[in-house]
A and B are shown apart, each in its own frame.
Chain A
Amino acid sequence: DSGVTQTPKHLITATGQRVTLRCSPRSGDLSVYWYQQSLDQGLQFLIQYYNGEERAKGNILERFSAQQFPDLHSELNLSSLELGDSALYFCASSVAGVGETQYFGPGTRLLVL
């Protein structure tokens, strides 16, 4: 158990819908990262938050957004969903320094029908 929790574990929805994925980092970690794992793209970095502020963006679509709340949990919002958004979405957390280990949650498996 990494100490990072993600809910829900599975999500099935339809095209055009909007969903919210939730992540709670390990106790004491200030940084939260979101990654997408798909068969064709592999594991890709989406976005990083540090202590409530956006720190870096990766290959995140404009239809996707995220935030980190004062209690440090984070939410990833996916809107206008398309079939191609079906993937495993991971959250990771770290204390947030160079070379720090990132600890991953169990992921949320999203299926868009």
Chain B
Amino acid sequence: GDSVTQMEGPVTLSEEAFLTINCTYTATGYPSLFWYVQYPGEGLQLLLKATKADDKGSNKGFEATYRKETTSFHLEKGSVQVSDSAVYFCALSVPSGAQKLVFGQGTRLTINP
């Protein structure tokens, strides 16, 4: 079945460090790919998305490129801030059947000043 695998956390970085959170997927067809972020005590917010191969999603300094050949959608940011501390979820949605989201297990990110 469809699945998403994220790098295990937690991840702790210093402010201004470079961030990569790995995400790979298995899916039938050509899924849309998403990164959601969950701040403490809140719901999930869409961070960025890509709907076809080689698309790059970007928002708030975060980027991820849809790589069909490696079935990956790694999240990157060049210089993290304390306010980026949150749990990050990679997810996919396949184009047939239910448009449900299939989530990875989440990666908790803590940024220290």
On A, residues with C-beta under 8 Å from B are: 2, 4, 31, 33, 35, 42-45, 48, 55-58, 90, 92, 94, 96-107
Q: Are A48 and B99 in contact (CB under 8 A)?
A: yes
- A-B pair number, CB within 8 angstroms: 65
| Interface stretch (choices B8-16, B39-47, B70-78) | B39-47
Q: Are A2 and B45 in contact (CB under 8 A)?
A: yes
Q: Are A56 and B100 in contact (CB under 8 A)?
A: yes
* Residues in A whose Cβ lies below 8 Å from that of B36: 104
Q: Are B100 and A58 in contact (CB under 8 A)?
A: yes
Complex: A94 Cα to B46 Cα, angstroms: 12
Docked complex: B37-90 residues within 8 A CB-CB of A: 42-46, 49, 51, 89
Contact of B43 among A56, A97, A99, A105 (CB under 8 A): A105
Complex: A104 Cα to B39 Cα, angstroms: 13
Contact of A33 among B42, B100, B105, B106 (CB under 8 A): B100
Contact of B102 among A2, A45, A55 (CB under 8 A): A45
Which partner residue on chain A sits nearest B103 by CB separation?
Answer: A43
Query: How many Å from the CB of A1 to the closest CB on chain B?
Result: 10
Query: How many Å from the CB of B49 to the closest CB on chain A?
Result: 6
Q: Are A42 and B43 in contact (CB under 8 A)?
A: no
Complex: A31 Cα to B93 Cα, angstroms: 14
Given contact pairs A45-B101, A98-B32, enumerate 10 new A-B contacts (beta carbons under 8 Å). A43-B101, A56-B99, A90-B44, A92-B44, A92-B101, A97-B99, A99-B95, A101-B34, A104-B44, A107-B43
